Amino acid sequence: MRLRGKKGIRENLEAQKDLVVLDPKQYKGRWAELFGNDRPIYVELGMGKGQFISGMSIKYPNINFIGIDMYDELIRRASEKARAVWNEQEEGVTPPNVKLALTNIEQIEEVFAPNEIERIFLNFSDPWPKARHARRRLTHPRFLARYKEILNERGEIHFKTDSQTLFEFSLNSFADFGLQMTNISLNLHRDGINEEHVMTEYESKFVGQGMNIHRCEVIVGEEALRNYEMSRLNKYK
Ligand SMILES: C[S@@+](CC[C@H](N)C(=O)[O-])C[C@H]1O[C@@H](n2cnc3c(N)ncnc32)[C@H](O)[C@@H]1O
């Protein structure tokens, strides 16, 4: 596939102000204003080509979704995907509950104010397998501290990966950071494709290769923790 020159991609993104946010720091504390409503905001960090965020935005129209990536070309690909899935609902419509933001996750606290978002999805984050790169893993405690700050009282992190070593590292990191984990799975699609969960591009590829997908949910906000405490033993009845 021939990729367009960088200049062409930037022009393309600049022409999509209804969907693409090239300077997301200016919306810190004002994302609800940008969406035009107070619905919960769910964010995918490192969305790639946007299959997950697009599918989720259709499945949950009453949630606002923000997809984040650091590459212009991926934002462009995700914008095409989001428009395509929403076009199937209504021709020419701007996806009403989606924004695609260009930023580096290292600067996430400059993009969101404290308590501004309700859920973070980490899907197939780069595993950074070398020990000396552990600090770059998106589930490292130095990131968890930032996520805790921007998540609200109902806040949760939902994490999926094919990498057993990243999963092991992450479970330990969540535990060491004092976070409650739930719905842990070592093989999400053990009984066939689990339709409850929207798949990402990487997930489709890895499942096609017969690989196991690991998943867990992490409870961060105080209200979410209270709700979890009240319901946790019910599933064993
Ligand atoms: C392995 S891909 C997974 C893509 C997608 N979530 C999926 O499951 O198909 C990781 C993505 O995270 C993005 N990414 C990695 N580090 C990032 C960072 N520091 N800031 C923003 N995006 C990042 C990459 O550009 C890439 O699109």
pLDDT above 50: residue 1: no
Residue 91 lies in a domain: yes
Give the pLDDT score at 2. 46
The predicted structure's pLDDT at residue 73 = 97
Q: How many domains does the chain fold into? A: 1
CATH number, residue 170: 3.40.50.150
DSSP for 32-62 reads: HHHHTS---EEEEES-TT-HHHHHHHHH-TT
Residue 5 confidence class, pLDDT cut points 50, 70, 90 = low
- Determine whether the annotation assigns residue 27 to a binding site: no
Angle 110-114-120 from CA coordinates, rounded to 5°: 80
> How far is ligand 1, taken at its centre, from the CA of residue 45, in Å?
7
- The answer to whether 18 is a known ligand-binding residue is no
Residue 165 among known ligand-binding residues: no
Instruction: Report the C-alpha gap between 156 and 121 in whole angstroms.
Output: 9
74 close to ligand 1 (CB < 6 Angstrom): yes
Q: Considering the entire predicted model, what is its pTM?
A: 0.96
Read off the pLDDT band of 70 (50, 70, 90). very high
What's the residue count for the chain? 237
Asked whether residue 1 is assigned to any structural domain, the reply reads no
Domain extent, residue 143, equals 6-236
Q: Which residues are designated catalytic?
A: 126
What are the tens digits of pLDDT across the range 35-44? 999 999 999 9
Confirm or reject: Cβ of 18 under 6 Å from ligand 1: no
Residue 103 has pLDDT above 90, yes or no: yes
* 138 is a domain residue: yes
Indicate if the pLDDT at residue 232 is higher than 90.
no
